[in-house]
Chains A and B, each alone.
Chain A
């Protein structure tokens, strides 16, 4: 079940599946975004023009895989980042992590 996978497990599974398709992706989809369902290994790949592209590919994948839990990779470009957080979000994020560590 989807709920049984933690965030780190989704990331690990997603990277593992991507490694399996990396060669084909880099040959045919360099610079594009691939969104992967970590349960089935099914994926959608397409041009990247910002967060909207990620949402579009994820929704297309979810039409085939309603229970999809997804991870995304930018083909050939190294680690993908969905969004840049602001200074304020960063400060609050780091403060919450420090608090979690101290609790």
Chain B
């Protein structure tokens, strides 16, 4: 089970976002614990700003197009990373985006996400499998 907290999304205290901590491992076994926002509108695994990607030393995969919410397609640099997720290492693709570190729906595959949507509310991600 992964636990996090709901906090204001902006410096002025407005908006809310669900935050969790994730453990990222780069190519040279450099290990970083990062606070990330859970964004279910993002269909990928994880997006990180380039300075953090360089700091961890992730393996560069190449270029992958991403679709913006306005339908426009833009190129993003894609990196291979390891995440410690529910106590196990998983391979993911990290997209370089100059915004807050975020994790998306792909990382939530076979999970239940529960969020108490108020400042200080609890975020819980549990492993689940569909009923047979």
Residues of chain B with a CB closer than 8 A to A51's CB? 43-45, 93, 106
Known: A55-B91, A89-B99, A93-B68. A70 touches B73 (CB 8 A): no
Q: Tell me the dominant secondary structure on chain B's binding face.
A: strand
Given B39, B60, B63, B99, which contacts A93 in the complex, CB threshold below 8 Å?
A: B99
Known: A51-B45, A69-B62, A93-B68. A85 touches B97 (CB 8 A): yes
Is there contact, CB below 8 Å, between A85 and B69? yes
Residues of chain A with a CB closer than 8 A to B60's CB? 2, 69
Given B76, B99, B106, which contacts A96 in the complex, CB threshold below 8 Å?
A: B99
Report which A residues bind B (CB closer than 8 A).
2, 7-8, 10-11, 14, 38, 50-52, 54-55, 58-59, 68-72, 79-94, 96
Known: A7-B77, A51-B43, A89-B39. A14 touches B98 (CB 8 A): no
CA A38 to CA B65, docked complex, whole Å: 15
Residues B85-118 near A (CB distance < 8 A): 91-93, 95, 97-100, 102, 104, 106
Report which B residues bind A (CB closer than 8 A).
39-45, 47, 60-70, 73-78, 80, 91-93, 95, 97-100, 102, 104, 106
Is there contact, CB below 8 Å, between B100 and A92? yes
CA A40 to CA B76, docked complex, whole Å: 21
Is there contact, CB below 8 Å, between A81 and B92? no
Is there contact, CB below 8 Å, between B44 and A11? no
User: Which residue of A is nearest B106, CB measured?
Assistant: A51
In addition to A88-B99, A89-B41, A90-B69, 16 A-B residue pairs with Cβ atoms within 8 Å of each other are A8-B75, A11-B63, A51-B44, A68-B62, A69-B60, A71-B63, A81-B67, A82-B44, A82-B76, A83-B64, A83-B104, A84-B67, A85-B42, A86-B41, A89-B42, A90-B68
Min distance, Cβ A35 to any Cβ of chain B, angstroms = 8
Is there contact, CB below 8 Å, between A82 and B64? yes
